[in-house]
C-alpha cells in the first residue's frame, strides 16, 4: 500500500467515525447530519483524486444522488433523476450516506478500501427505528446512486481534448514558468447536468485586441496583478491567494457552515448541496466549452508580447510576472502559477456566480453573513452577503494577475444563467 494512502486511512477513519457518533448524539438542530458528514468525506476523496474543474462534476454526481435519496423519503420536491419507492419512516440518514458512498466508490474504485470501513461504521451507528427503516434507507441510497452512475455513463468525461488554434496574437498557449497543459481540457465537452447544452451559455467573448476596452483591462492587470505591484494592497494580495484554493471544495465548506448557522434539516441540506453543486458543475462545463471556443491568451502572454497586439495603448514588458508566481508564499499546496488553460471566461467566476445566485434563490435573500477558510492563504475571510463573495472573486482574479477583468465579469454572467435555468426548471416543490 502507498504509505500516504495508509496514513490517510489511519488518520481519517477514527476521525470520521467519531464525527458520525458525535453527530448522532447531539440535539437535532445543532448537529451535523449524513448529508454534511458525507459531503466532508466526499470532498476529501474528490479533491485528492481529480483536478479542480473535474472535481465539480464529481461533487454534482454525489450530491445529486444524495438529494434523490433523501427526497424519495420526504417527497417534498421533484426528483432530480429518480424517486424510488419509500416509506416516510425510512432512514434519511442511511439513504444519504449510502448514496454518497456508492457514487464515490463508483467514481473511485481504488478508494473503496478506505471508504468501506468508514461507511460500515457510520451505518452501524445509525438508529434502526422503526425496525427495518435503516435497511430501507440503504436500499434507497443504492438505487439513487446506481441511477446517477448509469445516467453519467458515456457523458463525455475523459474524452479527447479540443484542438488548439495556431499560435497568433491573442491566442492562448502554455505559459511560463512551467508551460503546463490542461489536465482536464475535456470538461467543456461533458453533457451538462442542468442546462440543455453548454453552447447556450456562450459568452460575448474577449475584447478585440485593438479596442480601448482591451487596453483598459490590459493596463489594469499589468499594474494591479504584477508580482511587484506597488498599488495592490496587502488585503487584495490575501484575497487573490485565498481564492486560489479549490473553489468547489471551499464553497462546500461554506455550505456545511451555512447548514449549521441556518439550522437546516437533512431534507433542506440535501436540496441545498444538490442545487449548488449541480449549478457549479454546469457553470464549469459551460466555462470550459467557452474557453476552448475563444482560446484567448492569458495576461502573462499578452503583456510580454504586447508589441504584437496592434494596440498603441499597450506596452510590452517581456519580464512581467503575475502575483501567481512560485516565489509568492502560500500556506499549503503547490506553488502558484498561471492556470494551464485559456483566459476567457474565468472558471472561478463562472462557478462562484452560479453558486451565489443559487444560494440567493435557495434562501430567498442575499443578506446572510458567512466566513470561509482557505488552504492556500491560511486565512479566513468574512462576508456580509453572498454577493460580496461574488464581487471579490471577480477582483481577486485580476489581483492575482491571471485573468483580464472581462473574463471575470462575463464568467459571472454565464454562472448566473445556469442558476436562473436551475431555479426555473429543477427542484420544484410538490404541489
> What fold characterizes domain 185-425?
Vanadium-containing Chloroperoxidase; domain 2 (1.10.606)
The residue to which cell 427542484 is assigned: 427
| DSSP characters over 332-372 | SSSPP---SS--SS-HHHHHHHHHHHHHHHHHT-S---EEE
- Mean pLDDT on 48-53: 94
Residue 30 — very low, low, confident or very high, per pLDDT cuts 50/70/90?
A: very low
Q: Tens digit of pLDDT for each residue in 228-263?
A: 999 999 999 999 999 999 999 999 999 999 999 999
Percentage of residues in the chain having pLDDT higher than 70: 93
- CATH 1.10.606.20 occupies which residues in the chain? 185-425
Mean model confidence pLDDT for the chain: 93
**DSSP conformation letters of 142-164:** HHHHHHHHHHTTTSSTT-PPPPP
User: Is the pTM higher than 0.85?
Assistant: yes
Q: What is the location of CATH 1.20.144 in the chain? A: 3-151
Cell of 431: 404541489
Rounded-to-integer distance, Cα 179 and Cα 177, Å: 6
Nearest by Cα to 215 from 316, 143, 125? 316
Distances (CA, A) of 162 to 43, 111, 112, 118, 171: 28, 30, 33, 39, 14
* CATH number for domain 3-151, candidates 1.10.150, 3.40.190, 1.10.10, 1.20.144: 1.20.144
pLDDT digits (tens, 9 = 90+) for 85-109: 999 999 999 999 999 999 999 999 9
User: Which band of pLDDT confidence, cut at 50, 70 and 90, is reported for residue 31?
Assistant: low
Whole-number Å distance between alpha carbons of 51 and 158? 12
- Three-class DSSP category at 27: coil
* Contact present, 375 and 176 (Cβ < 8 Å): no
Distances (CA, A) of 20 to 26, 99, 257, 403: 10, 16, 17, 41
32: pLDDT confidence band, cut at 50, 70 and 90?
A: confident
Per-residue pLDDT, averaged over 124-152, amounts to 98
d(CA 399, CA 391): 13
Report the Cα 337 to chain-centroid distance in Å: 19
**169: exposed, middle or buried (C-beta count within 10 Å: 0-12, 13-18, 19+)?**
middle
CB 393 within 8 A of CB 374: no
Amino acid at each position: 500500500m502507498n504509505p500516504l494512502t495508509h496514513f490517510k486511512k489511519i488518520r481519517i477513519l477514527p476521525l470520521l467515525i467519531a464525527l458520525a457518533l458525535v453527530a448522532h448524539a447531539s440535539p437535532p438542530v445543532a448537529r451535523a447530519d449524513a448529508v454534511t458528514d458525507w459531503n466532508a468525506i466526499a470532498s476529501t476523496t474528490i479533491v485528492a483524486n481529480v483536478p479542480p474543474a473535474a472535481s465539480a462534476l464529481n461533487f454534482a454526481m454525489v450530491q445529486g444522488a444524495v438529494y434523490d435519496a433523501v427526497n424519495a423519503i420526504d417527497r417534498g420536491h421533484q426528483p432530480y433523476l429518480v424517486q424510488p419507492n419509500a416509506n416516510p419512516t425510512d432512514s434519511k440518514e442511511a439513504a444519504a450516506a449510502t448514496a454518497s458512498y456508492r457514487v464515490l466508490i463508483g467514481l473511485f474504485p481504488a478508494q473503496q478500501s478506505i471508504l468501506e470501513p468508514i461507511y460500515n461504521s457510520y451505518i452501524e451507528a445509525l438508529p434502526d427505528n422503526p425496525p427495518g427503516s435503516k435497511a430501507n434507507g440503504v436500499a434507497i441510497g443504492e438505487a439513487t446512486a446506481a441511477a446517477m452512475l448509469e445516467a453519467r455513463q458515456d457523458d463525455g468525461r475523459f474524452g479527447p481534448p479540443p484542438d488548439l488554434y495556431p499560435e497568433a496574437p491573442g491566442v492562448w498557449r502554455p505559459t511560463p514558468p512551467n508551460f503546463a497543459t490542461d489536465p482536464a481540457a475535456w470538461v467543456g465537452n461533458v453533457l451538462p447536468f442542468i442546462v440543455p447544452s453548454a453552447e447556450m451559455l456562450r459568452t460575448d467573448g474577449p475584447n478585440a485586441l485593438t479596442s480601448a476596452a482591451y487596453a483598459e483591462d490590459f493596463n489594469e492587470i499589468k499594474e494591479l496583478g504584477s508580482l511587484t505591484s506597488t498599488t495592490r494592497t496587502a488585503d487584495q494580495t490575501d484575497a487573490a491567494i485565498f481564492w486560489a484554493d479549490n473553489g468547489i471544495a471551499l464553497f462546500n465548506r461554506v455550505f456545511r457552515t451555512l447548514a449549521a448557522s441556518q439550522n437546516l434539516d437533512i431534507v433542506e441540506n440535501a436540496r441545498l448541496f444538490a442545487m449548488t453543486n449541480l449549478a457549479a458543475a454546469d457553470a464549469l462545463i459551460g466555462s470550459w466549452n467557452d474557453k476552448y471556443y475563444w482560446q484567448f491568451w492569458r495576461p502573462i502572454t499578452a503583456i510580454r508580447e504586447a508589441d504584437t497586439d496592434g494596440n498603441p495603448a499597450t506596452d510590452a514588458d517581456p519580464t512581467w510576472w503575475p502575483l501567481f508566481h512560485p516565489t509568492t508564499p502560500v500556506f499549503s499546496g503547490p506553488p502558484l502559477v498561471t492556470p494551464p488553460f485559456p483566459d476567457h471566461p474565468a472558471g472561478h467566476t463562472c462557478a462562484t456566480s452560479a453558486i451565489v445566485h443559487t444560494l440567493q434563490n435557495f434562501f430567498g435573500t442575499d443578506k446572510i453573513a458567512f466566513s470561509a477558510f482557505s488552504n492556500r492563504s491560511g486565512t479566513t475571510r468574512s462576508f456580509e452577503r453572498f454577493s460580496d463573495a461574488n464581487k471579490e472573486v471577480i477582483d481577486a482574479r485580476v489581483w492575482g494577475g491571471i485573468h483580464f477583468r472581462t473574463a471575470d465579469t462575463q464568467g459571472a454572467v454565464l454562472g448566473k444563467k445556469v442558476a436562473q435555468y436551475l431555479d426555473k426548471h429543477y427542484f420544484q416543490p410538490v404541489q
